[in-house]
Chain A
Amino acid sequence: MNLRASLKMLGPLVALLVVYFGFGISEPAMFNRTVIINILSQSVIVGIAAVGMTLIIISGGIDLSVGSIIAWTGVIAAFLIDQSLSPILVFLTAILCGGLCGFLNGSLSIWLRLMPFIVTLGTMQIYRGSAKIFTGGTPINLPFDETRYQLWMGGTGFPYGIFLLLVICIFTSWILHYTRFGRHAIAIGSSPATARLCGIPVLRTQIFVYVIGGAMAGLAAMMNVAKSSQGDPTTALGLELDIIAAVVLGGARLTGGQGSVIGAVIGALLMTCIRTGCVMHGIPTPWTEVITGIIIIIAVVVDRLRQRHTLC
């Protein structure tokens, strides 16, 4: 794996560096410590969820409900924090809740034999609606003195969330490349018939992939709560598309079999970097969106050209 995988990661990394230094040359404030920390911490939520999404996409699936899982799990976590539950238990509950949502996604698409696109299109609405029902439509606001959680995403020092993203990213990448489960997931995405022929437990592996994806979304939800100090049922609306974009920017193929966890995190950083750079240059938000879209398309086209080149 090593050489090939690291070459594959090089593409997104080069794109990230080009964009970062491109903005940095005309606006040196990009190189400030606070701006760097800001870019990193803004990437944490999308990044963590993108790690889980990479696993799902590599195994040939997709999860459109991840934004809703973040909202629904966030609401529950905020409720528990409000009830003064200890932070460890809150974290565990969020991971469990996200994992259950993922389990529902995976098992529904397998038992009903539906495409995951359809199933998660449905559960996207279900989880979002549940969050709104649970809170009665209004956010659960946390008291401002909840400093224990703020350290994860803000505060004065280096936010813990960045370390969390780093650890998760490395760990998942290791799982993908060096464990049987990881290789099975890739094989299933690459050729489901071959996986079945080789006696791989296809259904179990697929469900487990969705559970991990959901659990990662649960962790992302915790970071979201820590960042906004509230459990808002309307948060992370449309975030699933940012997350999928990050995964694709990282070199994943939407039909499965190919993808990189580290690439996905770089993809998340790339998108934050574009947004931050645009803000610092005073480019209005609508233009930022246009630029982000263009860069996503260019990156994917360049990646494809590069792969075709190495084939010959």
Chain B
Amino acid sequence: MESPRLASTTSRLVMQGIAKTFGSTNALRDVDLEVLPGEVHAIVGENGAGKSTLMQILSGAIKPDRGQMFLDGKNYAPRHPRQAREVGIGMIYQELSIVPDLTVEENIMLGNEPMCGPVIRKSLLRQRALKALAHFQHPDLQPNHLAGSLSLAVKQLVEIARALASGCRLLIFDEPTSSLGKEEISQLFRVIRGLKAQGVSILYISHHLEEIHAISDRITILRDGASVATLTTSQSNDDQIIGHMVGRAIDDLYPQKKSNRQSKILCAESIRTHHHAGCTSFELHRGEVLGIAGLIGSGRTELLRCLFGLAKPHSGNITLDGKVIDPCHRIGWQHGIGYLSENRKEEGLALDLPISENLTLSHLHAYSRCGVLSPRSQAKGTQHWIKQLKIKCASHNQTTRNLSGGNQQKIAFARLLDHGVEIFLLDEPTRGIDISAKASMYEIIRTLVDDAEKPRAVLMVSSYLPELFALCDRIAVMHDGQLSSTVEIASTDAHEVMRIATGSQPDFLAHTRA
């Protein structure tokens, strides 16, 4: 196929010297960006590097203080988001804006309905929606179905179709894969390649370097509000990209592992959840990180919730230090089990409450006498962890909402530490946080298990295989509620894990012990 870059000489989008200041902070200092027609251009950078501000400027939500933008050679200065949409810039946000009670076609044409006076022209609406849907053949995408009943991945397609229906030339994806499974990601990538072949330009924002390697043509790296480099994807490697992102080489993203495995602490025997047919057995020891890999929806989160007591298992036994725990009557905290939710914003933290409150919420009894709290000791306890984990905040009274994702996650994690739990159930502990925050999470996790005096036990669910391999002592794979047997991390590889996770090789045990 002919390279689309040769087909046209003008760039789709040019941004020159874009700068934006909020109050006293320089959100963007100097950004240059060029996107060609039919190009997938990735934008990477740590949280706070200015990616979201840049996208807001592109979509017309805010105006830059300095700099110029050109769309297909014409000066582009949108005054509001509608104008950006009219000239052909579409955004697919992380939080999808799908109206669940409208049909797929109504969602696609929302705000753009063909009218005849006050009446919607249904047949024309159907026709245009079908045209937009023709970009991706998908069996679940029927124009007259209710959008609310669709899976997240299909909803995302509806959102893409909406952008296409309004004649989009430049499509911006903001972390589009954050809640998609492996299969859905490759489906999305097929769609993106199809759009690219039709000359639509794509701006692709992501934290995941593998994805960027898989889909993008070029990469622009933002650091501290400036574009520091634009690389051709095929000629760059991860070290280079990360080096540009953090401004220094990260050679030790992952901490050293000690082997410190000790006595058995938690034992799950044929746990079955209500949503899956398979069942799960494993043993967790003090002084180890046990990783659980698997696809999204394979029942990993349900398993953790059952272990912790937020959900009831359908059947099975949980033994803690040799004692069976009554599944009807427990919430993990009482047994020294802590749970870090994968859903930080809705479950992990009460974002409107101050830091100290969030950090101590599970164990206010430790900071109170006869039900009366001592705010002073609460503050003292919080400050200890703010210092220990290097949480960036104004004070322990600050509202949690205003912090960055990484700092929020540290607070959610500090709750477990301050509670003094022995068993850490971590569900996607590094989702949506930047690389430096990830590095410090890894370090904390390893310190917990490698502690010589009081080794803790960590059970960690992650969809990011490199971190599982770097951090875990042993690993097991979940497929449709069925957990494979646990193996030493050194005796398996990513390929093997993916095979089990996708269900193509159910017998892990026979293979690895042979």
Q: Which residues of A contact B (CB under 8 A)?
A: 1, 3-4, 177-181, 183-184, 186-187, 190-191, 193-200, 257-258, 311-312
Contact = CB atoms under 8 A, between A and B. Distances in A.
A177 B357 CA distance: 11
B352 interface: yes
Contacts of B341: 193, 197
Nearest to A201: B331
A179 B368 contact: yes
Interface of B: 22-23, 310, 331-334, 339, 341, 343, 346-354, 357-358, 361-362, 364-365, 368, 371-373, 375, 397, 402, 415
A193 B351 CA distance: 12
B350 A199 contact: no
Contacts of A198: 333, 361-362, 415
A177 B147 CA distance: 43
Q: Is the interface of B mostly helix, strand, loop or mixed?
A: mixed
B373 A183 contact: yes
Contacts, number: 82
A191 B346 contact: yes
B382 to A, nearest CB: 13
B347 A197 contact: yes
Given A181-B371, A199-B362, A312-B23, A194 B331 contact: no
Given A183-B364, A191-B346, A197 B310 contact: yes
Nearest to B22: A312
A197 B348 contact: yes
A301 B353 CA distance: 22
A191 B372 contact: no
30 contacts: A4-B354, A177-B373, A178-B373, A178-B375, A179-B373, A180-B364, A180-B365, A183-B364, A184-B364, A186-B357, A187-B353, A187-B357, A187-B361, A191-B347, A191-B351, A193-B343, A193-B346, A193-B347, A194-B349, A194-B350, A194-B361, A195-B361, A196-B310, A196-B347, A197-B341, A197-B347, A197-B362, A198-B415, A199-B362, A200-B361
Nearest to A257: B352
Contact of A257 (B353, B358, B372, B373): B353
Contacts of B372: 178-180
Contact of B375 (A1, A186, A258): A1
B425 to A, nearest CB: 11
Q: Is the interface of A mostly helix, strand, loop or mixed?
A: helix
Contacts of A200: 361-362
A199 B364 contact: no
Contacts of B402: 311
Given A184-B364, A186-B357, A195-B361, 5 more contacts: A197-B348, A199-B331, A199-B332, A257-B350, A258-B352
A6 to B, nearest CB: 13
B373 A186 contact: no
Contacts of A194: 346-350, 358, 361
Nearest to B353: A190
A180 B368 contact: yes
B373 A197 contact: no
B334 A199 contact: yes
Nearest to A178: B373
A141 B347 CA distance: 53
| Residue of B341, B353, B402 most packed against chain A (CB within 10 A) | B353
Contacts of B351: 190-191
B401 to A, nearest CB: 9
Contacts of A177: 373, 375
B335 to A, nearest CB: 11
| Residue of B332, B334, B354, B358 most packed against chain A (CB within 10 A) | B358
Nearest to A181: B371
A4 B397 contact: yes
A166 B371 CA distance: 23
Nearest to A256: B352
A96 B12 CA distance: 73
Nearest to A188: B350
A274 B353 CA distance: 34
Nearest to A200: B361
| Residue of B334, B352, B368, B372 most packed against chain A (CB within 10 A) | B352
Counting from the closest, the 3 A-B pairs by CB-CB distance are A191-B350, A198-B362, A193-B347
A72 to B, nearest CB: 31
B371 A197 contact: no
Contacts of A178: 372-373, 375
Nearest to B415: A198
B249 to A, nearest CB: 36
Contact of A190 (B22, B352, B368): B352
Contacts of B368: 179-180
Nearest to B367: A180
Contact of A187 (B343, B350, B375): B350
A199 B353 contact: no
A178 B371 CA distance: 8
B334 A190 contact: no
